[in-house]
A and B are shown apart, each in its own frame.
Chain A
Amino acid sequence: MQLIKTLTASTALLVVASGAAFADDHMASDMTLVSWGGAYQNSQVKAYAEPYVANNPGVSITWDESSAEAVAKLRAMNEANNVTWDLVDVVAADAMRLCDEGLAMEIDADEDLAAAPDGTSAEDDFGDLLVSDCFIPQIVYSTTFGYRNDMVPDGTPEPTDICALFDTETYPGMRSLEKRPINNMEWALLCDGVAKGDVYDVLETPEGQQQALDKLATIKDSVIWWSAGADTPQLLADGEVFMGSTYNGRLFSAIVEQDQPISMLWDAQVFDLDGWIIPAGLPEERLARVKDFVKFATDTQRLADQAKYISYGPARASSAPMVGKHAELGVDMAPHMPTDPENAKNTFLYNYEFWADYRDDIDAKFQAWLAQ
């Protein structure tokens, strides 16, 4: 009798277990996510991946740190007809290019993404940040300047204006700027007397491009050009440069986590977005798994959680009030967010369309100018 009972019980258990396994059968059990590595990827692992795997035991996630070359690699994978990635973290401009080329899948925000806790639809919650049909925004970041507050000459006020970049007399020392025209050309024109609203109209003309390069030429001898986001915080920490541009999250970790004598300049910082795209043409099972993950990873709570680990603003309006303190340091994160009203007083809006068109042209001029 006892034996029969045990047998029935275990059979029942088995049936339940296999039933549960069955429910998941239409989803692949592993995923390859592509991101940027470093502190940023870490925040994604902690805020999205770990809780997801806790809810879905048996799912394994592989991370690939290839976001910087994501467009080129996806294009090559597509040509080889073998897309091995399931979800790719890219900046908005790259998402647009991938969408344009048909390499990324189009998303229906209301259907594929979770609504806010108060019932606001995903479409409204993300609002204007859904800049492309394929783009699922995660964070708002800005490219801004950090400076060594101990290298400001005695008796001079600390810089509050972006144009301190070009004022090597008041603020002597080297600068670090990204080795590409994007952002630098805009800042140069802003500091050459062009009104914020006219920047892209001026930059469209060869004369305007020359004007920007001429302005940059005034500090060319004191610029170190960077190509990796980690360069500027390093150069600042080493005292190699007085001020330099980089992503605000990188500066946050240099200032708050590493306690360097660096301050942040919130003026004319360039607002940009980063988020996911799903590669086009995934097999059904993998697609089902990815959609399930994305719905979870971009809900209000998860986006707010990410802000515990890195100072990038969550892309959902509903996540903003939930931003709390840094997970380890206990610092209030809100004042370090690019979306904080105090920081966002004078921001500059990046024009995706313009750079999609003029990137090649202006880059050729910029590189030729650099090489002179």
Chain B
Amino acid sequence: MGDSTQEVVLAADGRPLKQSLRRALMRQKMRAVMLVAPLLIFVIVTFIVPILSMLFRSVENDIVANTIPGTVIELSEWDGSTGEPPHEDVYRNLFIDLFKAEEAKQHTRLGSRLNYEQSGLSSLFRTTGRSLDGIGELWQDPLEDIDPAFEDGAFWYEMMSGSGGEGLLEQRRGLMAAMSGEEMTGDVGFVPSQQIVEMLPWTARAYTDFAIWAAIQDKDTVSEEDPWESVYGALGMDLTNPETISAINSYGGPGANALKAAAENIDQLPQEGFREAFVAEDDDWGSSDIWGTIKLYSPNMTPGYFLNSVDLQLTPEGIETKPANEQIYTKLFIRTLVMALIITASCIVLGYPVAWLLSNLPMRTSSLLMILVLLPFWTSLLVRTSAWKVLLQQQGVINEILVWLGFVNDADRLILMNNATGTVIAMTHILLPFMVLPLYSVMKTIPPSYQRAAKSLGATNWTAFWRVYFPQSVPGIGAGSILVFILAIGYYITPEIVGGTDGVFISNRIAYHISSSLNWGLAAALGSILLVVVLGLYWCYDKIVGIDNVKLGG
């Protein structure tokens, strides 16, 4: 009484009761987690992670910045609205970036990526890739005429190497790794000389790229290899800078004589810049359209794939709708939803009486019926679909019978497949067990006495069914509908085989982009939208019907 100290309840082992309770609960929880862990890990590793990484491709766009990094940075200062092509420095960077991308065979990948946005870019990158050597030789040939020392790989190595340029080496190594997707670790056997890096910045970059590639990828000794043509082009770039010329004149390190000779004879080098060289290979390089597209798609993330999958496109002027003759995806999404609803509805109409019969017939007959329901369920999907082909085609079984019975004329046989009708018929059949089974398991639990009671209270057969029996079977309809609808919305093989052109779903386009056009970004965007739509519908269903009302059994 009036005691302010709280009595701590102790457990048998002398610990506070609360603590040991918590510990016991903790142990139980841990045990539960351990029990589900194998499945959880399995699902995460084999299902969730791959799906998320695939979906991430729908916004991922680092290929542009990884393949032509210098160009992208330089291009960010260009104003596309003037209609003028970008500054010479952009073309210089493009030459150096593209040259190493060509060595790593990455430039065509970039071309294919940009071709999704503007056709013609794929061949532009491919043909330009082939002519890069030629552009480099525009500078290489006169340089070698001025001083034959430039022909010699060992001379270049001696001139370029030194100490202090580790920063540049590591920077270029990082860029090379990002571009090629390979590690690029290892000893290059070359460190740029700091003096050269400051005096000949372009040349140092190009030569370092060459050295990294030769040493790590080709496993060659850098000093024994002739440099890439891009190194000569880069020296040409440096020699247009008056400060470089004066620096060369006061330079006394390795290769000073050759450099001085080159600096004195710059009039023998091409007087045009790299813009002219690129435009000479292909006029398109001078078009601001091309550069606009490259600039637009240079960020690491892009909404482009998502816009494409709802028939919009990103242009330098903003988001626009695609031309009417290229709009396809919204139509396909709507068709997929509508047809999945039709299939679900026909499954309810056909499945409900069957399930009712199954649950009300005596055991022996109902087991036989059950086997009939399950038999097609156990048959291969492809076999069933092909069987429908035989039944539905114009010279097929159904048409033959109808003609024989005289219901239709031989001349106008029904067109039952290669259209939406075919898809609905075949898919309703294939998905029917998914409706019948949940319905059956719910109906099995409805006591027949309820209906008898209703009738004894004066209800007609219909009222007894509609007011008493049907409401109790709704959870089964709900479960069956969710199953059928969600399966139908992602169906692929059946529409492909019997759907013709107006019976195909959005999943057929996803498959096309995954395996045929290789536009995985677009496929991922379409897939993400489909996933969101399904989740959204599920949410609506939960709000309207309530997910608690869904019963898969008992």
Identify the A interface with B (CB < 8 A). 68-69, 71-72, 75, 97, 100-102, 174, 179, 210, 224-225, 227, 238-240, 353, 356-361, 363-365, 367-371
- Checking A179, A240, A368 against B326 with a beta-carbon cut-off of 8 angstroms, the contacting residue is A368
Roughly how many angstroms separate A210 CA and B323 CA in the complex, as a whole number? 13
Roughly how many angstroms separate A116 CA and B115 CA in the complex, as a whole number? 41
Q: A238-B393, A364-B328 are in contact. Are A370 and B120 (CB under 8 A)?
A: no
Apart from A71-B515, A371-B328, 17 more pairs, CB < 8 Å: A72-B515, A75-B518, A100-B105, A100-B109, A100-B126, A102-B105, A102-B109, A174-B394, A224-B500, A225-B500, A227-B496, A238-B393, A240-B395, A359-B517, A360-B519, A363-B517, A368-B328
- B203 within 8 Å of A by Cβ? no
A residues within 8 A CB of B516?
Answer: 72
Some 10 contacts from A to B, beta carbons below 8 A apart, are A71-B518, A72-B516, A224-B418, A238-B393, A238-B395, A238-B396, A358-B119, A364-B328, A367-B328, A368-B326
Identify the B interface with A (CB < 8 A). 104-106, 108-109, 112, 115-116, 119-120, 122-123, 126, 325-328, 331-332, 393-396, 418, 496, 500-502, 509, 514-519
Contacting pair B501 A360 (CB below 8 A): no
Q: A224-B500, A353-B123 are in contact. Are A101 and B108 (CB under 8 A)?
A: yes
With both chains docked as a complex, state the minimum distance between the C-beta of A109 and any C-beta of chain B, in angstroms: 19
A residues within 8 A CB of B105?
Answer: 100-102
Contacting pair B122 A371 (CB below 8 A): no
Roughly how many angstroms separate A65 CA and B166 CA in the complex, as a whole number? 50
A residues within 8 A CB of B396?
Answer: 238
B residues within 8 A CB of A370?
Answer: 501
B residues within 8 A CB of A371?
Answer: 328, 331-332, 501-502
B residues within 8 A CB of A359?
Answer: 517
- Checking B108, B119, B501 against A100 with a beta-carbon cut-off of 8 angstroms, the contacting residue is B108
B residues within 8 A CB of A102?
Answer: 104-106, 109
Contacting pair A357 B393 (CB below 8 A): no
Closest to B126 in A: A100
Contacting pair A239 B395 (CB below 8 A): yes
Contacting pair A365 B325 (CB below 8 A): yes
Roughly how many angstroms separate A225 CA and B512 CA in the complex, as a whole number? 15
With both chains docked as a complex, state the minimum distance between the C-beta of B312 and any C-beta of chain A, in angstroms: 13
A residues within 8 A CB of B104?
Answer: 102
Closest to A238 in B: B395
Contacting pair A360 B119 (CB below 8 A): yes
With both chains docked as a complex, state the minimum distance between the C-beta of A112 and any C-beta of chain B, in angstroms: 19
Q: A101-B109, A358-B119 are in contact. Are A240 and B517 (CB under 8 A)?
A: no
- The dominant DSSP class at the B interface is loop
Roughly how many angstroms separate A335 CA and B331 CA in the complex, as a whole number? 48
Q: A100-B105, A356-B122 are in contact. Are A368 and B496 (CB under 8 A)?
A: no
With both chains docked as a complex, state the minimum distance between the C-beta of A179 and any C-beta of chain B, in angstroms: 7
Closest to B106 in A: A102
B residues within 8 A CB of A361?
Answer: 119
B residues within 8 A CB of A365?
Answer: 325-326
Roughly how many angstroms separate A224 CA and B415 CA in the complex, as a whole number? 11
Contacting pair B119 A357 (CB below 8 A): yes
Roughly how many angstroms separate A370 CA and B332 CA in the complex, as a whole number? 12
Roughly how many angstroms separate A71 CA and B516 CA in the complex, as a whole number? 8
With both chains docked as a complex, state the minimum distance between the C-beta of B157 and any C-beta of chain A, in angstroms: 27
Q: Which 5 pairs of residues, A with B, have the shortest CB-CB distance?
A: A102-B105, A100-B108, A361-B119, A368-B328, A72-B515
Closest to A176 in B: B418
A residues within 8 A CB of B502?
Answer: 371
Contacting pair B108 A69 (CB below 8 A): no
B residues within 8 A CB of A357?
Answer: 115, 119-120, 122-123
Roughly how many angstroms separate A356 CA and B119 CA in the complex, as a whole number? 10
A residues within 8 A CB of B115?
Answer: 357, 360
Roughly how many angstroms separate A368 CA and B105 CA in the complex, as a whole number? 33
A residues within 8 A CB of B500?
Answer: 224-225
Interface centre among A68, A210, A224 (most CB of B within 10 A): A224
Roughly how many angstroms separate A258 CA and B515 CA in the complex, as a whole number? 32
With both chains docked as a complex, state the minimum distance between the C-beta of A69 and any C-beta of chain B, in angstroms: 4
Closest to A239 in B: B395
Closest to B117 in A: A360
Contacting pair B123 A72 (CB below 8 A): no
A residues within 8 A CB of B326?
Answer: 364-365, 368
Roughly how many angstroms separate A144 CA and B104 CA in the complex, as a whole number? 39
A residues within 8 A CB of B518?
Answer: 71-72, 75, 97
Contacting pair B393 A240 (CB below 8 A): yes
Contacting pair A368 B517 (CB below 8 A): no
With both chains docked as a complex, state the minimum distance between the C-beta of A369 and any C-beta of chain B, in angstroms: 7
B residues within 8 A CB of A179?
Answer: 501
Closest to B118 in A: A361
A residues within 8 A CB of B106?
Answer: 102
Contacting pair B328 A72 (CB below 8 A): no
B residues within 8 A CB of A101?
Answer: 105, 108-109, 112
Closest to A235 in B: B393
Closest to A241 in B: B394
Closest to A213 in B: B325
A residues within 8 A CB of B501?
Answer: 179, 225, 370-371
With both chains docked as a complex, state the minimum distance between the C-beta of B23 and any C-beta of chain A, in angstroms: 44
Roughly how many angstroms separate A1 CA and B539 CA in the complex, as a whole number? 92
A residues within 8 A CB of B514?
Answer: 72
Closest to B180 in A: A102
Roughly how many angstroms separate A179 CA and B104 CA in the complex, as a whole number? 35
With both chains docked as a complex, state the minimum distance between the C-beta of A157 and any C-beta of chain B, in angstroms: 24
A residues within 8 A CB of B395?
Answer: 238-240
Contacting pair B325 A210 (CB below 8 A): yes
Roughly how many angstroms separate A362 CA and B4 CA in the complex, as a whole number? 86
Contacting pair B108 A369 (CB below 8 A): no
With both chains docked as a complex, state the minimum distance between the C-beta of B384 and any C-beta of chain A, in angstroms: 17
With both chains docked as a complex, state the minimum distance between the C-beta of A352 and any C-beta of chain B, in angstroms: 11
Roughly how many angstroms separate A68 CA and B106 CA in the complex, as a whole number? 24
Roughly how many angstroms separate A238 CA and B392 CA in the complex, as a whole number? 12
A residues within 8 A CB of B496?
Answer: 227
B residues within 8 A CB of A353?
Answer: 123
With both chains docked as a complex, state the minimum distance between the C-beta of A277 and any C-beta of chain B, in angstroms: 14
Roughly how many angstroms separate A75 CA and B500 CA in the complex, as a whole number? 29
With both chains docked as a complex, state the minimum distance between the C-beta of A79 and any C-beta of chain B, in angstroms: 8
With both chains docked as a complex, state the minimum distance between the C-beta of A175 and any C-beta of chain B, in angstroms: 12
Roughly how many angstroms separate A210 CA and B394 CA in the complex, as a whole number? 31
Roughly how many angstroms separate A369 CA and B327 CA in the complex, as a whole number? 9
Interface centre among A224, A227, A368 (most CB of B within 10 A): A368
B residues within 8 A CB of A100?
Answer: 105, 108-109, 112, 126
Roughly how many angstroms separate A44 CA and B395 CA in the complex, as a whole number? 35
Roughly how many angstroms separate A359 CA and B513 CA in the complex, as a whole number? 12
With both chains docked as a complex, state the minimum distance between the C-beta of B133 and any C-beta of chain A, in angstroms: 15
Roughly how many angstroms separate A225 CA and B500 CA in the complex, as a whole number? 6
Contacting pair A69 B515 (CB below 8 A): yes
With both chains docked as a complex, state the minimum distance between the C-beta of A155 and any C-beta of chain B, in angstroms: 20
With both chains docked as a complex, state the minimum distance between the C-beta of B184 and any C-beta of chain A, in angstroms: 15
